[in-house]
Amino acid sequence: MVVSPERIRSLHKYEKAILAALERQMKRYEWVPLESLEQATGLSESEVTYRLSRLIAWGMVRFNPVPYDGYALVFGGYDTLALTTLTKKGTISALGTKIGEGKESVVYEALGLGPVAIKFHRIGMRSFNTARVNREYLPENGHCPWLIASKLSAEREYLALTTLHPKVSVPLPVGQNRNAVVMALITGPSLSRCRLDEPDEMLDAILENVREAYRLGMIHADLSEYNILIEDGKCVIIDWPQWMETNHQNAGTILERDITNILAFFERKYKIVREPGDVLRCVTG
C-alpha cells in the first residue's frame, strides 16, 4: 500500500528527518541502530522512538530487536520519500486511486499538470532468487538490495520512456525520483481485454513500434498483451524497466520471444497467422 497524500501532508518535520536519515544510513546498515538516528537528527531518544512508532504504524519503517534494536526503511517509507520530493518539485499535486498492481510495482492515478500515472517500483527479495535473472543491473551485494534495485528499475524505465517517446508509442515521461516514475495516464484497456475491430492493422502498428524501438537500440523484453494498452484505437506500449540493448548477446533470443508472444496472442484470439521468421527479419531489417 502506498501512503495517502493526507498522511504525507501531515508528516511531522521530525518524521521526515528520520525517514531521510534512515535512507542515508541504510547504505551502511541492514538495521539502523537507534543511536545512529539520534545522532543524525539531533533528537532525544524518547522523541526518536515516539516518531519511529508512528512511522512503523503507517507502514513506512520496520523494527527488528535482534541482535540490537534496529530500524529499516520499507517500501512504504521509500514511496513516501519519492512522493514528498515529487510533490515539492511540483510534478505531483495529488494522489488518486490505485490503477494497477503487479509482482514488482504498484501504479496510482495522480494529478500533475494533467492526469498522470505514478508507478512505484518494488523489486523485492523474491525476484532476486527467481524471475528476471536476466536483469543485469541488480546489485550482487551491498546493503539494501531492494532499495537500490527498485531505484535502478525506475531509472531504467524512465530512460526507456525518454529515449523512445515520441517515436515509439509509449506514455509521455513526466518525472522520476527514487523508485517512482511519473508518466502520462493512458485511459483504455489492455490489449488482452479488448475486442479489436481491425486486429490486422493493430498487429501491424504494434510491430512497427517494436521495429522503431529496435532502431533506437531497445528491445522491450517483456512484451505481451498485458503490457500494451489501447487508447482511442491506438496502441501504447508500457512496462519498460527490463528493456535490453539491441547489441546485447541475448538480444536475438529476447526479441524473438517478444515477437512470438504477440504473434501467439493474435493467432489465439483473432486467428491471424504470420511467420515469426518473416516478422523478425522485418523488425530488424
**What is residue 167's DSSP assignment?**
T
**Binding of ligand ADP at residue 155 (CB under 6 A)?**
no
CB closer to ligand ADP, 1 vs 68 = 1
Q: How far is the CB of 262 from ligand ADP (least distance, A)?
A: 15
Q: Concatenate the DSSP letters of all residues of 62-93 into one string.
A: EEE-SSS-EEEE-HHHHHHHHHHHHHHTTS-S
Q: Min. distance of Cβ 135 from ligand ADP in angstroms?
A: 12
- Among residues 40, 99, 196, 205, which is the contact residue for ligand ADP, using CB under 6 A? 99
| Per rule CB under 6 A, count of chain residues that contact ligand ADP | 17
Candidates 86-94, 99-107, 145-153, 267-275; binding stretch for ligand ADP (CB under 6 A):
99-107
Q: Which of residues 226-265 bind Mn ion (CB under 5 A)?
A: 227, 239
Q: How far is the CB of 95 from ligand ADP (least distance, A)?
A: 14
Look up residue 191 and give its DSSP letter. G
Q: Give residues 226-285 in contact with ligand ADP (rule: CB under 6 A).
A: 226-227, 238-239
| Contact partner at residue 246 from ligand ADP, Mn ion, none, CB < 5 to 8 Å by partner kind | none
Check: CB of residue 119 under 8 Å from CB of residue 181.
yes
> Which is catalytic among the residues 69, 79, 204, 222?
222
DSSP lists the bridge partners of residue 244 as: 219
- Pinpoint the alpha helices (H) of the chain: 5-9, 13-25, 34-41, 45-57, 75-88, 126-129, 145-164, 199-215, 251-270, 276-284
User: For residues 84 and 227, which CB has a smaller minimum distance to ligand ADP in the complex?
Assistant: 227
Least distance (Å) from ligand ADP to the CB of residue 238?
Answer: 5
We find the least distance from the C-beta atom of residue 122 to ligand ADP, in angstroms, to be: 8
* Selected range binding ligand ADP among 48-56, 64-72, 96-104, 207-215, rule: CB under 6 A: 96-104
User: Which is closer to ligand ADP, CB of 21 or CB of 221?
Assistant: 221
Contact letters (x/-) for ligand ADP, 211-230, by CB under 6 A?
---------------xx---
Which stretch, 36-44, 77-85, 125-133, 185-193, contacts ligand ADP (CB under 6 A)? 185-193
Give the Cα separation of 199 and 32 in Å (integer): 55
Burial 130-159 (b: 16+ CB within 10 A, else e): eebeebeebeeeeebbbbbbbbbbbbbbbb
- Alpha carbon of 30 to those of 47, 52, 79, 233: distances in Å? 22, 17, 18, 48
Question: Which three cell numbers, joined as nine digits, stand for 156?
Answer: 531504467
Question: 232 catalytic, yes or no?
Answer: no
C-alpha cell at 18: 528520520
Euclidean distance between CA atoms 109 and 208, whole angstroms: 29
Which of Mn ion, ligand ADP, none does residue 100 bind (CB under 5 to 8 Å by kind)? ligand ADP
Report whether 188 contacts 229 (CB < 8 A): yes
Applying CB under 6 A, among 105, 127, 176, 179 the residue interacting with ligand ADP is 105
Q: Which residues make up the interface to Mn ion (CB under 5 A)?
A: 227, 239
Tell me the catalytic residues. 222
